[in-house]
Amino acid sequence: MAALPSSLGAQVVTFAEVLLEDAAAWAACLPADVSTRSLEEVQAVLFAAWETAADLLPAATTQDPTHMQWAGAPTVELRLSAEGPHDRPRPDLGTMIDLSPLGPTDRSVLPEMAVTITVAPALERKERQGLLRRAFVYMAHSCGFVEADEDALL
């Protein structure tokens, strides 16, 4: 999504979200012997969403995104969230994503993980990948996965 400048302001806000609302549809897209997505697949989705929000959407709103004025420090939020019907407790992320490479956690139920990064939007691919891995480890540590390290995220 891109919120374009208006007469009230010249700010551009972009974000990319991947929302999985239907657990049955989620399960149907997996191979028969697999019930969760891997961390590698999740990282690829987060990377693509970050690249879309930081590079592709701003480029669609202006001829030269490198000369945009920032209303504040550019930030990126990486969020994994398990959602369900509002009249029930939120499901655990581990039911959709294989979190085992991160090691054990001290949390009994983990419905979401998130981290916010203040960073320039125009990054080289390799730099963004490294930053994504470091941010993912930071996010894992803050969610009780004290043994998580970058090697688990390659």
Phi-psi region of 128 (alpha: psi -120 to 50; beta: other; left: phi over 0): alpha
The pLDDT of residue 19 is 67
Residue 32 domain boundaries: 2-153
The pLDDT of residue 102 is 93
* HEC profile of the chain: CEECCECCECCCEECCCCCCCCHHHHHHCCCCCCCCECHHHHHHHHHHHHHHHHHHHHHHHCCCHHHCCCCCCCEEEEEEECCCCCCCCCCCHHHCECCHHHCCCCCCCCCEEEEEEECCCCCCHHHHHHHHHHHHHHHHHHCCCCCCCHHHHC
The pLDDT of residue 34 is 84
The pLDDT of residue 31 is 85
The pLDDT of residue 20 is 65
Q: What are phi and psi of 32, to 5 degrees?
A: -55, -35
The pLDDT of residue 11 is 60
Tell me the whole-structure pTM to 2 decimals. Answer: 0.80
Residue with tokens 């991160």: 102
Q: Work out how many domains the chain is built from and give that number.
A: 1
The pLDDT of residue 105 is 92
- Mean pLDDT in consecutive groups of 10 residues from the start of the chain, 154 residues: 53 64 74 85 89 82 73 82 83 88 91 89 90 93 93 74
The pLDDT of residue 18 is 66
Q: Which tokens belong to 144? A: 């009780």
Q: What are phi and psi of 81, to 5 degrees?
A: -140, 130
The pLDDT of residue 59 is 78
**Are 87 and 141 within 8 A, CB to CB?**
no
